[in-house]
A and B are shown apart, each in its own frame.
Chain A
Amino acid sequence: MSGPTSKTTVGALRKTTDSSFVSAVLTWLAWSLFAASVAVLVARLRLGASWEVPGAVAVDGLTVLLWTVVTFFSGIVHSYSRRYMGGSAHETDFFLGIFSFTLAVMALVAADHLTLFWLCWLAMGLLMARLIGTVDGWPQARAAASVARRHFLASSALLGVALLTLWRATEATTISGIAASADGLGGPTLLVAGGALVLAAMIQSALVPFHGWLLSSMTAPTPASALMHAGFVNAGGILLTRFAPVVTAETGLMLALVVAGAASALGGKLLKTVRSDVKGELGCSTVGQMGFMIVQTGLGFFAAAVTHLVLHGFYKAYHFLSAGDKVERTAPTETESELGGTGVAGAAVVLLTGLAGGATFAVLTGKGTSLDSGLLLAGFVTLTTLHAARSAVRQTGLSTAARYGAVPLVALPAIAVYALAYEAVSGLLAGLPVVSAPTELTALHALVGVAFLAAYVAIETGVYERSERLYVALLNAGQPAPETVLTATEEYDER
């Protein structure tokens, strides 16, 4: 038997385990903030409590909801980064950055005074730009940070214009004050203020054509991107929800939101089709999702927009944090699982499943039960369920039960869960001046509906892939800013 317990060591390596004190403390603080937010949420739900410092801070339903959500994301990102950023030269800086960002967002959603709101907005942008440039020894990261900073300064300037205009028109120094007197707004004031708000929201949410900063932001450490896509880009929707009384006062603005949002929703998705880098794909997807969220605000469903922000945040944060999982070995001609036709009986099942999905959604959320813009949203759900059912029914490799039963079994509960979330959000936001303001259906709404249907058919048939010109245009439109691209890898410097 061999078995000397201590053997002669030749050339032992160093063993190190270091843990940064700052990151540990901040992670603990982030989760404490989450716990506190949950406590406040419970208090609000149980006691209907609200708190305010008149003229400066107002903690309402939206505040409490977003505190809970943002501190949850922040806690996840902190905990994740404890391991992920371990040993990085920028660990402490990074933790200070994400923690301050969390605080800025928390202050923003509680701010009532216009100046405080504006300062938080600016701080949030500057902190995010800093996070994009975390690796400051690397020229391309600095360039990406500066691209983002320029965008955020522009959005802050636009917000400043909007706030000044509103202040001059209403003489109110708080958001709640403006909301109270929004009815009296009109003419050029409303157009300038409303237009500036919409533009500021579009920049912050990286809508086409302002998506450049987002698609150039991949120099940010992965957890910072997760926070950006789950938290930062949402600010556009939050801005519009806070100033809903202003935006909804002018039908033209609402229509503009629908059109700009829809253009981004479709554009983002199209940009995504040609991307081959994982984070670029995710970025384009966010452009599309934020577009959809803006469509929801334009249709007057602010609670739906906020719900979308939250659920999309889960989805996108997950995909960023698992970006490294997405490398696989593939064959040029994939052996697709056999797809059969649907058949008449199948078509009937597909149709019924789709309608059942739409109906569940309409009944549980109340959207689409009357002849207004809510129909459009119910239409999306119907189409999605129908599409899923069709995909399942065509899988001839599965058992009959699975082909016909799986989608209703999964989709209907999923819709119910969504409805639950939506109802909860609506309930929380109930105290806001404007939560739901469905607009009348116009020809433009019909046009947007048709555009989405056309996109659906185009993607299903692949007809758009015939245009080489479109391919090149999409590829070029999704390119990051030139100075943020690392063509000479020796310029990369992790420090």
Chain B
Amino acid sequence: MNAESTTEDDADAIGDAIETAATAVGSVWPVHSFVTANPLAGFEDRPFDEAVSRAADLLGGRGYPRAATFRTALDEGRIDADLLDETLTDRGYEAGPEALLDRLESAEGTDEPSDAGAATRPDSDAERVDRVLTKWLSAFLDEGRAEWSMPNREAGFYDAFRSVAQHDDEIPDRGLAADLPASPTAAVESALEPYPDDRWQSIFEAQFAALPGWTGLLKRRADDGGAWQSAYPITLTGYLAARLALADAFGVDLAPPAESDGPVVDAEDEIAAAFLSAWEATYRDALVERVAAESEARHGERGARADGGASGRPDAQLVFCIDTRSEVIRRHVEATGDYETHGYAGFFGVPMEYQGYDDDVSIDACPPILDPQHRVAEIPTDDGARASRDRWARAREAAGEAIETLRSNPATAFSFVEGAGSGYGLALAARTLLPARVYDLLSTTDDAVPGDHEFCEPGVHRQDGAPGALPTGLTRDEKVEYAATAFELMGWEEFGRLVVFTGHAAETANNPHDSSLDCGACAGNPGGPSARVLAAICNDPEVKTGLRERGHDVPDDTVFLAAEHNTTTDEIELYDGDVPDSHAADLERLRADLDAAREAAAAERVGPAGEADSAGPGGAAGVREAERRAADWAETRPEWGLAGNAGFVVGPRPLTSHLDLDGRAFLHSYDWATDPDGTALEAILTGPMVVTQWINAQYYFSTVDNAAYGSGSKVTHNPVGNVGVYQGNGGDLMTGLPLQSLMADADTAYHQPLRLSTVLHAPVDRVTDILADNEAVAGLLDNDWLSLTVVDPTRDHRAFRYEEDLEWTPAPAAAEARPGTATTPAVADD
């Protein structure tokens, strides 16, 4: 890519080898906009079992849960014992589950690096290379944290490194590092001289895999080409050149260990794979069985109305993100009145770059599998509110700058601390001892200052000639297209008086990983802006006309509005500034019902903690506890995010509306009957399903190896450069989710590491056709990165499980084949 041009063929060969080798390391997004991606994305072209063992060799991470995790799942009935026996027999094991788990456990013991050895191990040359590199990478990739940033950054990483290296006495003055060539490619070539070119790629792989955190971040940054990359460019080649030069200076042999000739997947992993498979099947069978039964029971009903549409239009329709947390709030919203809820990707289908009012930076408000196509900025409409907000912002900024300048100057920092110390003492006590009051204080200040959505509207109208690479705003056709796509994917045929697009965002304090709790479909950003954009589009009279032309009969009295679901406190804030008076009554009732739903949802999600000091579950105690968690700086588990995710149901809501899925399933609305040619289904399989699989894989790998693929415990986190977190003093970046997002406590997993089970409600032939056209998706399924089961409404609601190469196995009618399943605790009726 950015390799400097030389005339030699070698340069091209090196460039290609670098590109290929870099796929071994998963992309890492800056922690301020955390993207829940599969850390093993580069291995997805291999079968799951091979991929995890290859990744274990390169990155040192586990691929399967530990024996203890399986044992607990078995004891709790989460792995169905009969199903497990069946699976083990099928795979040719004669020993019983206990014996196999013992075998797994003893193998784990020998795999562990011996503790005593690790601490006293001599400081190897390879580690010195890593340490010097992490020092310079953290300096170069810093996004505005250090007061004095690395010199010459604008020249790019390699040149900046070359310049500081001559002053760095930690780098031995010998070898390549002592006399770095001007071109990084030349440096790489000269380091590779002793090695035959068929080894290059494996050399590169091993080098990139040595610091997967920083490498993943710089790889992503180079691909992404954002503002920081434009200002201070870094390339894989530049990084590799610096790395190889250091390896040369420290005398490290580059030859990677030969790939072992043994079996691709070792015997213990095969055992673990069998247990995992049985665990997944236990969850999936229960889910599929229920969905299939419901499909049969509701056969003949049309539309998405839970009550068959007998009462006419619903009071309101609310569209939520497919996020697993929406499942909980949707259940409770539906229980409060005649509301229809739907699931749709939380960026509401508009791939845009969004710039908030007065923001320095714009964000990509769409899943990372898409590139933004439009630029939308907030445009202030109310001058009074704007002025009051600006005054407040300016005063805060000035105070912040004054404090910063006093803190950073050695002649003033000391007296500043003495003058301000007492104030910090009070804050210390308040935030620690009265976190719930701090929440009230924050809300009061928030309410006093007008929020952006109160005086701005998203600039969705096309503006020609605006600067920037992307077109600003959308044309009429584009607007109609996005609006129509939404209703087509969800299979809508009817519109209520109120239609609410509900984005979501989390609210937490003292949490570097807060963006991991925001909307995954918006690339780790709040979903409110996307909801507002789609609402603004749909309210456009031109768009309504366009929708009618495409067969969506939107009544004149339908009003679209946006909202944001606070996933931490379960509050839903309606952005209702533009709702006409004619709908005031509808709005008022909706608001009251949302409050009631919030109380119930918060009580459910907070669990016993919310009941402790109140008369009973539900009510204000749950809400209060949730608010406390949102504002408490000492809270490491403000909410569970998407932990627990295991399923993805694509179909009309009535298939799941009678179920309590406990926030474990992604839900996408879809009606096969309104999608005869399968275009909507294809869009769902290639878009949302891939994104949910990424999210699921991130949770899976962060759970099975929290050190290699996760971020470790929050209590020893040390945020660095606004881009990531260290564990402790420094070194490589930690990449995935923190321990507290996955584990209830040190011994108890909250998240269950299962690969995603997708359940589709559609004719199986239609799905086969779509998979035949989309190799990438079929490849994921063939390689077992997720599973797919189709409940076919045209074939007696039978379930078909995807096997491989577009083949399906019809599931036996569940109740007959395995009577035990229905009575396991996990699916017990109560």
B147 to chain A, nearest CB (A): 4
CA of A345 to CA of B533 in the docked complex: distance in angstroms?
A: 49
A463 to chain B, nearest CB (A): 12
B817 on interface, CB distance cutoff 8 Å: no
A-B contacts besides A80-B634, A265-B410, A288-B413, 5 pairs, CB < 8 Å: A4-B658, A9-B826, A215-B729, A308-B414, A324-B714
Contact with B along A215-230 (1 / 0, CB 8 A): 1111111110000000
- CB-CB under 8 A for A483 and B123, given A88-B713, A310-B421, A492-B727: yes
A53 on interface, CB distance cutoff 8 Å: no
- CB-CB under 8 A for A330 and B123, given A391-B405, A453-B411, A491-B113: no
Say whether A8 contacts B146, CB under 8 Å: no
Q: From residue 357 to 410 of chain B, which have CB atoms closer than 8 A to chain A?
A: 360-361, 363, 394-395, 397-399, 401-402, 405-410
Q: Could you list 7 examples of A-B contacts with CB < 8 Å? A: A9-B661, A311-B421, A321-B510, A388-B416, A485-B730, A487-B127, A489-B707
CA of A214 to CA of B721 in the docked complex: distance in angstroms?
A: 20
Say whether A277 contacts B720, CB under 8 Å: yes
Say whether B410 contacts A323, CB under 8 Å: no
Dominant secondary structure at the A interface: helix
Contact with B along A258-290 (1 / 0, CB 8 A): 000000011001101111111111000100110
A141 to chain B, nearest CB (A): 7
Q: From residue 672 to 731 of chain B, which have CB atoms closer than 8 A to chain A?
A: 705-708, 712-722, 726-731
Say whether B416 contacts A384, CB under 8 Å: yes
CB neighbours (8 Å) of A387 from chain B are: 405-406, 409, 411-412
CA of A143 to CA of B731 in the docked complex: distance in angstroms?
A: 14
Q: Which residue on B lies nearest to A12, using beta carbons?
A: B662
Say whether A398 contacts B398, CB under 8 Å: yes
CB neighbours (8 Å) of A3 from chain B are: 335
CB neighbours (8 Å) of A325 from chain B are: 509-511, 633
CB neighbours (8 Å) of B745 from chain A are: 16, 18, 86-88
A445 to chain B, nearest CB (A): 15
Chain A to chain B: the 6 pairs with minimum beta-carbon distance, closest first: A311-B421, A87-B745, A89-B746, A314-B425, A269-B410, A456-B411
A333 on interface, CB distance cutoff 8 Å: yes
State which of A120-128, A168-176, A184-192, A472-480 sits at the interface with chain B. Answer: A472-480
State which of B89-97, B162-170, B569-577 sits at the interface with chain A. Answer: B162-170
CB neighbours (8 Å) of A468 from chain B are: 151-152, 163-164, 167
B202 on interface, CB distance cutoff 8 Å: no
A474 to chain B, nearest CB (A): 8
CB neighbours (8 Å) of B509 from chain A are: 325
CA of A472 to CA of B716 in the docked complex: distance in angstroms?
A: 27
Dominant secondary structure at the B interface: mixed
B429 on interface, CB distance cutoff 8 Å: yes
B72 to chain A, nearest CB (A): 9
A6 on interface, CB distance cutoff 8 Å: yes
CB neighbours (8 Å) of B337 from chain A are: 1
Interface centre among B128, B145, B331, B637 (most CB of A within 10 A): B145
Contact of B634 among A81, A216, A476 (CB under 8 A): A81
- CB-CB under 8 A for A383 and B411, given A17-B607, A485-B134, A490-B708: yes
Say whether A13 contacts B397, CB under 8 Å: no
A46 on interface, CB distance cutoff 8 Å: no
Say whether A397 contacts B398, CB under 8 Å: yes
CB neighbours (8 Å) of A459 from chain B are: 408-411
CB neighbours (8 Å) of A495 from chain B are: 746
Contact of A489 among B128, B213, B334 (CB under 8 A): B213
- CB-CB under 8 A for A144 and B826, given A280-B718, A388-B402: no
Number of interface residues of A (CB under 8 A): 143
CA of A387 to CA of B395 in the docked complex: distance in angstroms?
A: 18
State which of A109-117, A199-207, A241-249, A409-417 sits at the interface with chain B. Answer: A409-417
- CB-CB under 8 A for A276 and B142, given A80-B432, A468-B164, A468-B167: yes
Say whether B646 contacts A472, CB under 8 Å: no
A233 to chain B, nearest CB (A): 14
- CB-CB under 8 A for A2 and B335, given A10-B826, A13-B664: yes
Contact with B along A1-43 (1 / 0, CB 8 A): 1111011111111111110000000000000000000000000
- CB-CB under 8 A for A7 and B720, given A79-B433, A273-B146: no
Contact of B730 among A16, A82, A277 (CB under 8 A): A277
Contact of A277 among B123, B405, B726, B743 (CB under 8 A): B726
Q: Which residue on A lies nearest to B113, using beta carbons?
A: A491
Q: Which residue on A lies nearest to B331, using beta carbons?
A: A7
CA of A400 to CA of B169 in the docked complex: distance in angstroms?
A: 52
Interface centre among B657, B706, B731 (most CB of A within 10 A): B731
B270 to chain A, nearest CB (A): 22
Band of interface residues on B: 35 or more
Interface centre among A89, A272, A332 (most CB of B within 10 A): A332
CB neighbours (8 Å) of A312 from chain B are: 417-418, 421
Contact of B716 among A220, A270, A288 (CB under 8 A): A220
Say whether A277 contacts B168, CB under 8 Å: no
B228 on interface, CB distance cutoff 8 Å: yes
B696 to chain A, nearest CB (A): 14
Say whether A10 contacts B419, CB under 8 Å: no
Say whether B634 contacts A486, CB under 8 Å: no
Say whether A83 contacts B718, CB under 8 Å: no
Contact with A along B266-285 (1 / 0, CB 8 A): 00000000000000000100
A395 on interface, CB distance cutoff 8 Å: yes
A137 on interface, CB distance cutoff 8 Å: yes
Say whether A277 contacts B138, CB under 8 Å: yes
CA of A80 to CA of B429 in the docked complex: distance in angstroms?
A: 10
Q: From residue 314 to 336 of chain A, which have CB atoms closer than 8 A to chain B?
A: 314-315, 317-318, 321-335
Contact with A along B596-625 (1 / 0, CB 8 A): 000000000001110000000000000000
Say whether A332 contacts B727, CB under 8 Å: no
Say whether A7 contacts B659, CB under 8 Å: yes
- CB-CB under 8 A for A87 and B731, given A79-B432, A321-B432: no
CA of A12 to CA of B828 in the docked complex: distance in angstroms?
A: 10
State which of B1-9, B546-554, B732-740, B764-772 sits at the interface with chain A. Answer: B732-740
CA of A16 to CA of B744 in the docked complex: distance in angstroms?
A: 7
A156 on interface, CB distance cutoff 8 Å: no
Say whether A76 contacts B609, CB under 8 Å: no
Say whether B829 contacts A8, CB under 8 Å: yes
B282 to chain A, nearest CB (A): 8
A493 on interface, CB distance cutoff 8 Å: yes
Q: Which residue on B lies nearest to A415, using beta carbons?
A: B419
B307 on interface, CB distance cutoff 8 Å: yes
CA of A274 to CA of B826 in the docked complex: distance in angstroms?
A: 54
Contact of A274 among B127, B148, B424, B512 (CB under 8 A): B148
Say whether B662 contacts A88, CB under 8 Å: no
B415 on interface, CB distance cutoff 8 Å: yes
Say whether A475 contacts B731, CB under 8 Å: no
Say whether A8 contacts B290, CB under 8 Å: yes
Say whether A83 contacts B632, CB under 8 Å: yes
CA of A276 to CA of B153 in the docked complex: distance in angstroms?
A: 15
Say whether A414 contacts B664, CB under 8 Å: no
Say whether B150 contacts A471, CB under 8 Å: yes
Say whether B419 contacts A11, CB under 8 Å: no
A57 on interface, CB distance cutoff 8 Å: no
Contact with A along B652-676 (1 / 0, CB 8 A): 0000011111111100000000000
Say whether B164 contacts A494, CB under 8 Å: no
Interface centre among B115, B422, B431, B512 (most CB of A within 10 A): B422
A154 on interface, CB distance cutoff 8 Å: no
B213 to chain A, nearest CB (A): 6
Interface centre among B337, B423, B663 (most CB of A within 10 A): B423
B107 on interface, CB distance cutoff 8 Å: no
B231 on interface, CB distance cutoff 8 Å: yes
- CB-CB under 8 A for A17 and B826, given A1-B338, A11-B662: no
Q: Which residue on B lies nearest to A411, using beta carbons?
A: B419
B139 on interface, CB distance cutoff 8 Å: yes
CA of A216 to CA of B146 in the docked complex: distance in angstroms?
A: 19
CB neighbours (8 Å) of A138 from chain B are: 727-728
